[in-house]
Amino acid sequence: MVELGALPTVLALFLGLVLAFLVKFFFSRAHTNLPHGKMGWPLLGETLAYLKPHKSDSIGIFLQEHCSRYGKVFKSHLFGHRTIVSCDHELNMFILQNEEKLFQSSYPQALHGILGRNSLILVSGDVHKKLRSLALGMIGGTKSTVNFLPSIESLSISMMESWKGCKEVVFCKEAKRFTFNLMMKQSLSIGPDEAVTAQILEDFHTFMKGFVSLPIYIPGTSYHKAVKARERITSTIKGIIEGRRKENRLQNGDFLDVILSKENLTDEERVSLILDLLLGGHETTATLMALLIYFLAHSPQALQQLREEHLAIRKNKNDGELLSWEDYKQMNFTLNVIYEGLRCGNVVKFVHRKSLEDIRFKEYLIPAGWKVLPVFTAVHHDPCLHENPWDFNPWRWDDQATNKKVSFFGGGQRLCPGADLAKLETAFFLHHLVLNYRWKIKGDNFPLAYPYVEFHKELAIEMEPIHKTLEQKC
Ligand code: HEM
């Protein structure tokens, strides 16, 4: 028998249990279709495990384990937020295509400190539209990329010349110099030998280290150094802008001319756009080139076919004659190789989004305000989409359908504006490389996803010049 005095306690206990039951019932009703998964540690969630470096031509243990336990779409707690991770191609496409409607770009706050609040990748709405259309006008599509041809050719040729007599080359360094010099020339009309070029490149190096550092703004930390490096680059670009204004000359035919001629931009936006082009335009493409050096070194058959394609192009040209847009259109296998390098190597592993409202997709619910991460690497290595996904097989691109099963340049309103340029640069660089050199990777080196791709010691390679035989010169 319950004593009368204990009745209030029993009642309170009973009511508490009913309340707990109701909360659990309604909460789980509202989130019935929340993808499975776990939230990990308080605050940190599963961020450290998610960011654990792995071979960039694999999906890594975290995704492997989570996908096999919870499926291609799962919940987690990453970068300080409740998160839906998507390794499902259809959902990824849905996310990218619904930018600003159901989802919005949402990069970690620490990146705002490094990139600056006007960076194209961080802004949204009308400011994004305005800056993006300017960027597209300068680097997107055939009309713009054709303007890059002479600089790409001369930089490729001088790179090959500079390797003469070298037995070994630290490739990532060389590739970054190549892509950065190109962007400096097109953006600011500044040549590779000018002191300011080396100084900004050095600052970008520091800047990149800050991307994966803890966002602690104390002197000595990588994050602090990166923010300071950005400030230095910004003030250098501001100085160049002021110089142009003083001299009142806008006939360089470079991006800065275009940007200065637009009256609807603030100076902060002008500097930020130049910074975006310099940064976006050099790191990613240099990584792609390094990945191709790596994959081709392990695929003699693909390298042979690539060489044959470029020998055939040379056959129809005079000695020393520069490549043209028509030649580029003949580089079909080269593009297969580039696409396969992007698919296998994964220059950009995933992008950051957030959901703007409760969204239902297939059987899943994505609650409003959650972080959403479309993971491209997982799609690129999905055996349901790609046969033997771990094989470097450029011939898979002969099938047009392969193109619909990848997203290395993102998509929707944020599709990379530099995609065409990156392909063109890489194709011309490959032309000169395969006709002039053979190479071997030094040691047991492979690309690692940090998640941005890096090689041990910046990928040292052994070089051997190809002595042009009669067959090659034709
Ligand atoms: C292999 C080379 C490249 C890869 C793999 C790549 C990849 C990407 C991806 C995945 C995005 C989408 C980011 C998102 O949705 O959040 C992006 C955006 C962007 N990329 Fe690239 N990119 C490459 C080359 C370039 C080049 C050469 C430039 C400039 C010259 C460039 C400039 C940009 C800019 C400015 C954005 C932001 C676009 C926006 O938010 O509207 N990229 N890139």
The SS3 assignment for 398 reads helix
Q: 193 in a domain, yes or no?
A: yes
330 with 306: CB under 8 angstroms?
A: no
Q: What pLDDT is recorded for position 143?
A: 83
The residue whose CA has the least distance to atom 20 of ligand 1 is 416
Is pLDDT of 230 > 60? yes
Mean predicted confidence (pLDDT) in 384-389: 97
- CA nearest ligand 1 atom 23, residue: 284
| Percentage of the chain exceeding pLDDT 90 | 77
Q: How far is the CA of 214 from the centre of ligand 1 (A)?
A: 24
437-441: strand order across its sheet: 168-170, 460-465, 437-441
* Half-sphere CA count of 65, side-chain side, radius 13 A: 9
Write the DSSP assignment of 185-251 as a string of letters: HHHH---TTSHHHHHHHHHHHHHHHHHTS----STTSHHHHHHHHHHHHHHHHHHHHHHHHHHT---
pLDDT band at 138 (very low <50, low <70, confident <90, very high): very high
| Ligand 1: nearest atom to the Cα of 410 | 10
The answer to the question of residue 426 being in a domain is: yes
Tokens representing 346 are 């994964």
- Decide if pLDDT at 210 tops 90: no
Residue 372 pairs with which residues in a beta bridge? 84, 353
In a mutational test of the pocket of ligand 1, which residue from 416, 421, 430, 453 has the highest number of ligand atoms less than 8 Å from its CB?
416
Residue 442 has pLDDT above 90, yes or no: yes
Kindly state the DSSP code that residue 355 receives in the 8-state scheme. E
| Mean pLDDT confidence for 70-99 | 97
Mean pLDDT value across residues 420-431: 97
**pLDDT tens digits, residue range 263-304?**
999 999 999 999 999 998 899 999 999 999 999 999 999 999
User: What residues line ligand 1, using a CB cutoff of 6 Å?
Assistant: 105, 120-121, 132, 135, 139, 276-277, 280-281, 284-285, 288, 347-348, 351, 408-410, 414, 416-418, 421-422
Q: What angle do CA 146, 152, 153 make, to 5 degrees?
A: 105
Query: Length of the chain in residues, anyone?
Result: 474
Q: Which atom in ligand 1 lies closest to the alpha carbon of residue 376? A: 10
Q: Which CATH number do you get for residue 323?
A: 1.10.630.10
> Residue 412 is which amino acid?
G
Residues 302-315, mean pLDDT to the nearest whole number:
97
Q: What is the mean pLDDT of the chain?
A: 90
6-39, pLDDT tens digit by residue?
656 656 665 655 555 444 444 444 556 899 999 9
Number of domains in the chain: 1
What single string gives the DSSP state of each residue in 38-66?
---BTTTBTHHHHT--EETTS-HHHHHHH
81, 370 Cβ separation under 8 angstroms: yes
Position 379 in a domain:
yes
Tokens read off for 213:
């550092």
| Res 126: pLDDT | 95
Distance 338 CA to ligand 1 centre (A): 16
On whether residue 30 sits in a domain, the answer given is no
Averaged pLDDT for residues 202-207: 88
Residue 76, in any domain of the structure: yes
Asked whether residue 236 is assigned to any structural domain, the reply reads yes
Q: Is 416 annotated as a binding residue?
A: yes
Which of 284, 380, 430 is the best mutation target for the ligand 1 pocket, counting ligand atoms within 8 Å of the beta carbon and taking the most? 284
Instruction: Tell me the pLDDT tens digit for each residue of 335-369.
Output: 999 999 999 999 999 999 999 999 999 999 999 99
**Distance from Cα 33 to the centre of ligand 1, integer Å:** 33
- List all residues 6 or more positions away from 168 whose beta carbon is below 8 Å from its beta carbon: 442, 460, 461, 462, 463
Q: Is residue 10 in a domain? A: no
From CA 408, how far away is CA 348, in angstroms rounded? 7
Structure tokens at 454: 């890096």
Residue 432 within any structural domain of the chain:
yes
Confidence of residue 222 (pLDDT cuts 50, 70, 90): confident
Q: What is the domain extent for residue 301?
A: 35-473
Which position has the higher pLDDT, 467 or 43? 43
Distance from Cα 415 to the centre of ligand 1, integer Å? 7
Cβ atoms within 10 A of the Cβ of 321, count?
Answer: 10
pLDDT for 207: 84
